Amino acid sequence: MNNNIKVKGLVLQAGEKNLRDNVPIRFNDWAVIGGPKKDTADITKTSLIKFSVLTHNHGVGGKATIRACPVGTISPLKLDRLEDNPKAVIEVWQSIFNELLPAMIDVDPITAVELFEAHLTGSAAKEFQQIVYQVSEDLFNKHIEVEFNMRICRFNAPEKTNAELDADQRSKLPADQRIKAVELRRWLDKNEQRKTARTGVLGIREYKYSFPPPAIPAPPSRPSKGKFLHWSVSGINALNANAWLRQHNHGWEFGEKYLNMVFKEVQELTFKTF
């Protein structure tokens, strides 16, 4: 009996190894001592993701015979996993920050997260999905709910009047009113700066906002196994975290924090056993 269990265990282990070793995309293991360089490695077309980019930012040409070609392509590696895969993950982030983002218009930190997600396949896509769900929950509970929903959204007209006073007048307010006025003034100035900067710029959507702003709703809940989030009743599917943050007019205010939190979680998983 015990021998049968042992034999079955060995068969199952062999099956798991076979699944691991025969994944169609296994190219993130190329970076071994003495291995071929990426430029000369035999990488299949299905292992790459292609982006159109503006060539004047990083010197990637569309055709070798047309040096002044304004648009070219870059083909970074896809990632088949994040955990314990530092070299490939670092290269993707470098590609995003040094080549892809400078070649785009109207970018924000959420775009960087979306570009990173576009490089993922296989296990990496699942690993990253878990990260963004966790990060969006933490971002909402620790920052958005506290700093925006319970503060900015609850300021009233008299507090806005105090915020619009000049610095000398604000300094004469009672302490509690002065603290609120300074906080709200910073928020108003930030939104006015965004509004002014985007007005009249070709290809950029104008920015408008109202006071007080509507609260940012909770992020999409993590889907449960075998569940459709009651789709038959509600008729809606869960958004991903990027869409959730983008759809609100003030989601951009937390974009940089969102990127930093995602980057940190990816980094910890990538260097998990190092």
Mean pLDDT of the residues in the chain: 78
Give me the pLDDT at residue 156, please.
93
Structure confidence by residue, pLDDT tens digits, 67-117:
455 555 666 678 888 888 888 888 888 888 887 887 777 788 999 999 899
Mean pLDDT is lowest, of 38-42, 92-96, 225-229, for 38-42
Name the pLDDT band for 203 (thresholds 50, 70, 90): confident
Share of the chain above pLDDT 90, in %: 37
Q: Which position has the token pair 């983008």? A: 246
Give me the pLDDT at residue 33, please.
41
More confident of the two residues 72 and 240? 240
Give me the pLDDT at residue 54, please.
54
Name the pLDDT band for 11 (thresholds 50, 70, 90): low
